[in-house]
Structure 1
Amino acid sequence: MKILTIVGARPQFIKACMLSKEFVRDDVVEEIIVHTGQHYDSSMSDIFFEQLQIPKPHYHLAVGSHSHGKQTGKMLIELERIMIKEQPDLVLVYGDTNSTLAGALAAAKLLIPVAHVEAGLRSFNKRMPEEQNRILTDHLSTLLFCPTDAAVEHLKQESITEGVHQTGDIICDTVNFFLPIALEHSSIQKTLELEKDRYFVATIHRAENTKNCQQLMELLNALNSIGEKVLIPIHPRTKKMIATCKMTEEEYPQLHVTEPLNYFDMLALVYNAKGVLTDSGGLQKEAYLLKTPCITLRDETEWTETVTAGWNRVVGRDSTKIMEAAKKLQVPKKHIQLFGDGQTAKRIVEIIHNSFYN
């Protein structure tokens, strides 16, 4: 059985690694990996393949950064060519990026079954490109692997019930497997002279938070006023905006900006942090798995379970709310298993086998 796996962005590499490990062990599955090149910087791409021991991609499209339409269009053209050549039995996509949608659409047009890992997530904000991508991908998919019961229910509300499976979250597998390795080998905390529980980790990359100088400046001012050191692994989009706005480090003495971090360093830093401030969906979930309180710098979240459990607070972009939430941050007494047992990859492979051979 030939499976064509499509990845293109940092979160997808992290999700794909555990499933690729299972495919390597499988005598029946041949995995063909396609890297679209949506994330092309070495610090956001190559290092993850090396650290997470993901097999080298068979194809690298080197699409790069473009407008949504141009980027997705270039991917569609190349992915269709590869699918016609390889004739896969199944196309596997992850998450909610343009790579996800392009892979699902190219496969569906060629009548190749699509499997969507992390299906059923909804922010209910259709202005988000990620929300558009995940909705369209779910409606094109044959197998939908949902991380939570809520995701299954979202699909049910859209009349998607065939091929839906609650498998747990693949990121739970990744965190469980790599956290001990990260804590043993990462020296980033010592290098940056950060004391455990005396700093925050922040990430800012979404368009609504980086679209203009005023918005970004207010966010950085809020983070700078928390009263603790804030480490910011900088996203290329945010870095470009900071340069455009001519912001300087001297204006924000509490902020420590670094280049994007590898997975081991990021795991270790979040694990030992006092809290996380982020507009990333994936980091909200990782913070929960690492038992680190999170403040979400958006008006909504796909991971509502983390909010209900008391580990995540959604505050939007208001600087006063951000500062208040950070200063009142506490570690909840209870931490329940929201995202599965760390066996999601094995479960997905079993479902694929059953779907194709029964």
Structure 2
Amino acid sequence: MKVVSVVGARPQLVKLAPIAAAFARTAHEHIIVHTGQHYDADLSDVFFSGLGIPDPDVHLGVGSGSHGIQTGAVLAAIDPVLDREKPDWVLVYGDTNSTLAGAVAAVKQHLPVAHLEAGLRSFNRRMPEEHNRVLTDHAADLLLAPTDEAMRHLAAEGLAARSALVGDVMVDVCLRIRDDVRADGHPAPALPEGIDPTQPYLLATLHRAENTDDPRRLADLVAALNDLPLPVALLAHPRLIARAREHGIKLDQGAVRVGRPLPYAGMVAAVLGAAGVVTDSGGLQKEAYLLHRPCTTLRPETEWVETLEGGWNHLVPDPHQLPEAAWAELATRPAPETPTGTPYGDGRAAERVVQTLEQQA
């Protein structure tokens, strides 16, 4: 069996790590195509080296651009690759422009498409990620769902016959890296200058278009982070840096200290060392949940509704509209006593993905 994995952004590289390892234990041919959607080394290269992922077999180098330009560039560049390889499966990951472009290119060549992390829904049609995941699910031949909730969404859209519950591959890699960090004696995370890792701090990220493109909204969110009573380690995505510079918004002020994105093991160490997490990232919400750290999500909805159970995650779309004391209390709350459970699987999802592709090939 020949499988082409199409990846291009940080979360997809994390998901690729256990999939690549699972394929390496078989005789199947696994070809990695990196679109270059995340072209910053902090968001791409370090994940290949840090997670032990084989170097990409093909690097398309599409870089940045509007959604249309970026999606079109991947479509044009990947077409000859798929035509040459003619794989048994094209495996696309998550909800990025690379995901949609890889699926459309494969469908046009009548190649079977499998979508990893299928069935997630925010029900917010303003999110580019929501368009990508819905369109990919309806184009794909095999829908690899991470949770029971995702399976219910797919069934509601008439896609049950194409769906399989495999679990979440993020659990596979997160728990492995967590155990590695603990075995190494919990090394001090690489935090921004000015934050003492031995003292309580919050870990924050902010990158989604709906939070960064509007100058007033971004300024309000940054001000809310500035006002928190604990130091805030803001790991700044290139989108955030660019938008803040464009809008004339200073990030590094008040409680906030700005640093660069971390390699995955560094991110896990930073979450483990933090008192809590503030983010708009779907992946980091789930990592906080898996690592038993309270999370405050700067969005009105989440695809990972399981993290809301027991108070582990709270949705706060407009923290600047809360009284300052209420916002501070929420963002710095202690971890709940409620157990998290295992709604995302047992850490063996990648094996089930390979087995399911074998059975359906």
TM-score (norm 1): 0.95
Shift of 1:136: 0.5
Preserved contact between residue 4 and residue 31 of structure 2 (Cα < 8 Å): yes
Q: What is the match of residue 312 of structure 2?
A: 311
Distance in 2 of aligned mates of 1:234 and 1:196:
22
Give CA-to-partner distance per residue, 1:33-68, whole Å, 9 cap, x none: 100000001111101000011111111011000111
**Secondary structure of 1:309 counterpart:** helix
Preserved contact between residue 300 and residue 315 of structure 2 (Cα < 8 Å): yes
Distance in 1 of aligned mates of 2:110 and 2:243:
41
The residue identity in structure 1 corresponding to 2:69 is K
Shift of 1:326: 4.1
Preserved contact between residue 319 and residue 327 of structure 2 (Cα < 8 Å): no
How many residue pairs align between the two structures?
354
**Secondary structure of 1:53 counterpart:** coil
Distance in 2 of aligned mates of 1:200 and 1:105:
40
Give CA-to-partner distance per residue, 1:297-336, whole Å, 9 cap, x none: 0111101111133211001033143952441323111221
**Is the counterpart of residue 56 in structure 1 residue 55 in structure 2?**
yes
Preserved contact between residue 51 and residue 263 of structure 1 (Cα < 8 Å): yes
Q: What is the match of residue 354 of structure 1?
A: 359
**Secondary structure of 1:256 counterpart:** strand
Distance in 2 of aligned mates of 1:197 and 1:306:
26
> 1:244-323 to 2 correspondence within 5 Å?
244-248=246-250, 252-321=253-322
> 1:1-358 to 2 correspondence within 5 Å?
1-27=1-27, 29-183=28-182, 184=184, 186-188=187-189, 193-195=195-197, 198-248=200-250, 252-321=253-322, 324-328=326-330, 329-335=333-339, 336-356=341-361
Shift of 1:247: 3.5
**Secondary structure of 2:143 counterpart:** strand
Distance in 1 of aligned mates of 2:62 and 2:286:
28
Preserved contact between residue 117 and residue 144 of structure 2 (Cα < 8 Å): yes
Gaps of 5+ in 1: none
Preserved contact between residue 186 and residue 264 of structure 1 (Cα < 8 Å): no
The residue identity in structure 2 corresponding to 1:3 is V
Could you tell which deviates more after superposition, 193-202 or 269-278?
Answer: 193-202
The residue identity in structure 1 corresponding to 2:357 is I
**Secondary structure of 1:112 counterpart:** coil
Distance in 1 of aligned mates of 2:242 and 2:11:
21
Cα RMSD (Å): 1.7
Distance in 2 of aligned mates of 1:207 and 1:199:
26
Gaps of 5+ in 2: none
Shift of 1:240: 1.1
Distance in 2 of aligned mates of 1:103 and 1:23:
20
Distance in 1 of aligned mates of 2:304 and 2:345:
14
TM-score (norm 2): 0.94
Distance in 1 of aligned mates of 2:214 and 2:191:
35
% identical aligned pairs? 46
Distance in 1 of aligned mates of 2:69 and 2:191:
43
Distance in 2 of aligned mates of 1:322 and 1:282:
28
The residue identity in structure 2 corresponding to 1:253 is G
Cα distance change, pair 196–288 in 1 and its aligned pair in 2 (3 A): farther
